[in-house]
Amino acid sequence: MILADLGKEQLNILVQNYGEKSFRAGQIYNNINNGKSISQMTDLSESFRQKLLQDYADCACEIYKEFHSKDGSIKYLFKLSDGNIIEGVLMKYKYGYTQCVSTQVGCRMGCEFCASTIGGLVRNLTSGEILSQIAVVNRALGGDIKKRLVTNVVLMGSGEPFDNYDNVVDFLKKVTCSGGLNISARNISLSTCGLVDKIYDFCNEGIALNLTISLHSPFDEQRKKIMPIAKKYKISQILSACEQYFKVTKRRYIFEYSLIKGQNDSDKDLQELYRLLKGKPCHVNLIRLNEVKEKTLKSVNDKNAYDFCKKLNDLGISSTVRRIIGSDIQGACGQLRASVLKGEDDT
Ligand code: SAH
């Protein structure tokens, strides 16, 4: 069992059950958010720690390896208590650090260009395992809940967040909690390949974050070729769900669009994007495809990406090209884990 899965109230019950004083619950809560393993919770008595260790894993997730990029970003491999490996990236910006977290071990969405999907879904992460990725990195940077160095979070690592809906919502409630890491929802981005039913459910959670949709093509038929989920939901259904999210949160939504040579980079694609998105409270984030060696799809070059972006902006569709992060450390989703699983990470 994972101690970090427990919320404040469950921790109150836990300490009672172990016959400990009630203030111990607050200590454990702070320790979890400070990224400490049970063994490191030295403000608890040795005997209490031993009892906890009999029932709970020492840590929900620990930093297993880290890879420092020339551009200042760090790619982390985390080891979970059952030995599974997940990955995350930390990016340094002027305002602080943005951390990209995983929500599943592997993924079952099967997108053609994505490395996370190689090997399919292994399992969902629990809310505590998602939270711990941030807590241990914040601690490794020298931070804690009072001095929070990870200021922004993106749910764009391995996995489809809305395919692990309950745990992800539970995580979001935990990470935004004022007594905990207290990361504001407006500093959190959640990226989904477009599970429409879940977007509607999410509208009712009262969490106003940056909803990000992986669009990658304005045509349903083309989208089906690169994203199997497109067989279930049409782009028009996704747009209606986004409108609903905007209605309840007043937050603009974002489309991710990975430019793939010859697949979604033509003037026809531009015109259709314009037709679909004109006047909508949205932004298009253009990504230069990170070529995955197990996959055949190719990226456009920088010039084509910036031209595409300019044309979209000229048409009145707000758009930017995402900066390339950690290309020397296999920054794209699932790439590093995939090579570790194959024993290629001896760097
Ligand atoms: N499952 C979520 C989170 C995925 S990762 C989703 O589908 O949105 C975040 C973004 O990176 C997604 O838009 C995803 O489609 C994109 N992506 C995945 N692999 C990529 C690659 N090799 N190159 C460029 N973008 C990629």
For 94-103, write each residue's pLDDT tens digit: 888 999 999 9
Residue 344: pLDDT band by 50, 70, 90 thresholds? very low
Look at residue 346 and tell me whether its pLDDT is greater than 50.
no
How much is the average pLDDT of 106-121? 93
Amino acid, single-letter form, for residue 27: Q
> pTM higher than 0.85, yes or no?
yes
pLDDT interval class at 347 (50, 70, 90) = very low
Tens digit of each residue's pLDDT (9 = 90 or more) over 206-215 = 999 999 999 9
- Atom of ligand 1 at shortest range from CA of 297: 22
Structure tokens at 347: 């760097």
Q: Is 338 in the pocket of ligand 1 (CB under 6 A)?
A: no
**pLDDT for 295:** 78
Q: Give the pLDDT band (50/70/90) at residue 285.
A: very high
The pairing of beta strand 121-124 with beta strand 104-106: antiparallel
pLDDT at 345: 42
- Residue of 343, 340, 342, 261 lying closest to 66 (CA atoms): 340
Nearest to 78 by CA among 49, 110, 100: 100
Answer yes or no: is the C-beta of 162 below 6 A from any ligand 1 atom. no
pLDDT value of position 341: 56
Tokens of residue 134, six digits: 């941030």
Among 26-40, 58-72, 282-296, where is mean pLDDT lowest?
282-296
Query: In this prediction, what percent of the chain has a pLDDT beyond 70?
Result: 94
Over residues 4-27, mean pLDDT: 98
Residue 251 Cα to ligand 1 midpoint, Å, equals 21
User: Residue 252 — φ and ψ, nearest 5°?
Assistant: -65, 155
Is 344 among the catalytic positions?
no
Distance between start and end Cα atoms, the chain:
33
Longest dimension (CA), the chain: 68
For residue 190, the model assigns a pLDDT of: 98
Report which protein residue has its CA nearest ligand 1's atom 24.
289
Residue spans per domain, the chain:
1-59, 60-345
Tell me what pLDDT residue 95 has.
84
19 Cα to the center of ligand 1, angstroms? 47
Atom of ligand 1 nearest to the CA of 334: 19
Distance 333 CA to ligand 1 centre (A): 6
Based on the residue annotation, tell me whether 333 is a catalytic residue of this protein: yes
| pLDDT band, residue 336 (cuts 50/70/90) | low
Q: Do 133 and 142 touch, CB atoms closer than 8 A? A: no
Residue 331 pLDDT more than 70? no
Q: Indicate if the pLDDT at residue 329 is higher than 80.
A: no
Tell me what the mean pLDDT of segment 307-314 comes to: 98
Domain 1-59: which CATH number of 2.70.98.40, 1.10.150.530, 3.60.9.10, 1.10.10.60: 1.10.150.530
In a mutational test of the pocket of ligand 1, which residue from 99, 195, 214, 263 has the highest number of ligand atoms less than 8 Å from its CB? 214
Ligand 1 centroid – CA 114 distance (Å): 6
Average of pLDDT values for 235-260? 98
Read off the pLDDT band of 294 (50, 70, 90).
confident
Phi (first) and psi of residue 339, to 5 degrees:
-75, -30
* Residue-wise pLDDT tens digits, 39-87: 999 999 999 999 999 999 999 999 999 999 988 899 999 999 999 999 9
User: Residue 339 has what pLDDT?
Assistant: 58
Angle at 211 between CA 86 and CA 147, to 5 degrees: 60
Phi/psi class of residue 283: alpha, beta or left (left: φ > 0; alpha: ψ in -120 to 50)? beta
Candidates 73, 193, 171; CA nearest to 125 is: 171
What is residue 254's predicted lDDT score, i.e. its pLDDT? 98
**Selecting from 3.20.20.70, 3.40.718.10, 3.40.50.720, 3.60.140.10, what CATH number does the domain 60-345 have?**
3.20.20.70
Strands (DSSP E) found in the chain? 61-68, 74-80, 85-93, 96-100, 104-106, 121-124, 150-155, 188-192, 210-214, 253-259, 282-288, 319-321
Q: Is the CB of 191 under 6 A from ligand 1?
A: yes
CB atoms inside a 10 Å sphere around CB 322: 13
Compute the average pLDDT of residues 100-107: 97
Per DSSP, 301 falls in state P
Residue 65 falls in which region: left (phi positive, over 0), alpha (psi -120 to 50) or beta: beta
Neighbours of 52 (CB within 10 A): 21
For residue 187 and ligand 1, the question of a CB distance below 6 A is answered with no
Among residues 20, 87, 129, 160, which one is catalytic?
A: 87
Of the chain, the percentage scoring pLDDT greater than 90 comes to: 87
